[in-house]
Amino acid sequence: MVTQSGTLEVLNPVSQIAAELGEALPMPERPRALEGKRLGLYWNRKPGGIYALKRIESLLRQRFPGVEVFHFDSRRPIQKDVVEAIVAAKCDLVVGATAD
């Protein structure tokens, strides 16, 4: 419960889990365009998330010809081998989806 004189601390357990995966990767620069880029789509296997990713893929392929798409999935927390696969695929960016 929050009162007018109290404070509310919001914690994100996902970032804590990510920190446990090992050395943090530097944030890459955002690409200005996606033509010819490598796009990773990550689904955490929650019901409905795959439909959002399929729609995103469809829209991005229409808008940015030549975008190369890689699919990844893993239950939460994301498995270390999936993170390594995303890095190995040299994705320029990754879009993740959750749903319920």
> What is the tally of structural domains in the chain?
1
Beta-bridge partners for 42: 72, 96
Question: Is 84 a member of any domain?
Answer: yes
Question: Is 42 a member of any domain?
Answer: yes
Q: What CATH number is attached to the domain comprising 81?
A: 3.40.50.2300
Q: What share of the chain is helix, strand, coil (3-state, %, to 5)?
A: 30, 15, 50
The pLDDT value recorded for residue 96 is 87
Q: Decide which of 44 and 8 is more confident.
A: 44
pTM of the model: 0.69
Question: Is 16 a member of any domain?
Answer: no
Q: Are 93 and 37 in contact (CB under 8 A)?
A: yes
CB atoms within 10 A of CB 71: 14
pLDDT in tens, 30-48: 888 888 899 999 998 988 8
Domain that holds residue 93: 33-97
